[in-house]
Amino acid sequence: MTRRLASIAGWLLVGHGLWLTLFWGLLHVPESSVWMLSLSGLLTLTLVALGAVLHSGASASWQTGRPFGSALASGIRRAHVAVVAALIFGMVWWATGALLAWHAGVAGQIDAAYIARTGRSQTQWIHAGIFWLAMFIRWSVGLALAVSLLAVGVTAGLRALGSGAWIRAALAPRTWLTATFWFVLLVAIPWHLADRRPRGLSLSMEPWFVGAKLTLVAVAMAVGWALVLRAGHGKPNRT
């Protein structure tokens, strides 16, 4: 499993580096003419296609009993499934965003109703609970749904959408707990720490520190994302 994890993390690390390079190029395209607008559209489509290929290939590479190269090529052919999985996650993101927007609009009414019924003014726990419920639905349930659909879809194609097996797999505690654990530990936390720097760092050492820090963050996130994708496949293989 260690060799395959290293291969998949390497695939994601290089692929995401290329993706970020293209995205940086897109941000610097001056949309001053029809040709530049066309170039922006082409780069956008390329980014979507590259992202789909990266994640479908990585997910398929966790299939048991298949050589890494064969599984990777099979996943790349099912890249369209990754687009659908991303849309599923996008729908969950939108739903949780709508929940938080609704909560922001009625927070005062919730406070007033709670105080009127109980006589207590400590309502922070209610709002914190709603926020963390939305985060759980988004980053635990939503992420598990996406990686489970991708894991089934890279083998069965889009007909997996109608089976419901990916939904049952995503809602199994093992799946969403594992996906959430690796996402928080190796993706969210490194991302949060990426802009930290120690006090008193000299100017001569700062470029070395920043380079080493960003390298470690990139490697940790690649490994973490590989393990999140593995969660959609259930039990890991041993190759």
Length of the chain: 239
Tokens, residue 134? 């939305």
For tokens 């960003």, name the residue.
Answer: 214
User: Quick one: angle between helices 124-136 and 79-118, nearest 10?
Assistant: 170
Tell me how far apart the alpha carbons of residues 173 and 234 are, in angstroms, rounded to a whole number: 11
Which residue type is seen at 201?
L
| Burial (Cβ within 10 Å: 0-12, 13-18, ≥19) of residue 183 | buried
pLDDT at 203 over 90: no
Close Cβ partners of 39 (under 8 Å, ≥ 6 residues apart): 29
201 Cα distance to chain centroid: 33
Residue 206 banded pLDDT, cuts 50, 70, 90: confident
pLDDT at 239 over 60: no
Can you tell me the mean pLDDT for 189-200?
87
pLDDT at 237 over 50: no
Query: CA torsion sign, 158 to 164 to 167 to 169?
Result: negative
Q: Which pLDDT does position 195 carry in this prediction?
A: 86
Tell me the pLDDT tens digit for each residue of 124-166. Answer: 999 999 999 999 999 999 999 999 999 999 988 888 888 889 9
- Predicted TM-score (pTM) above 0.85: yes
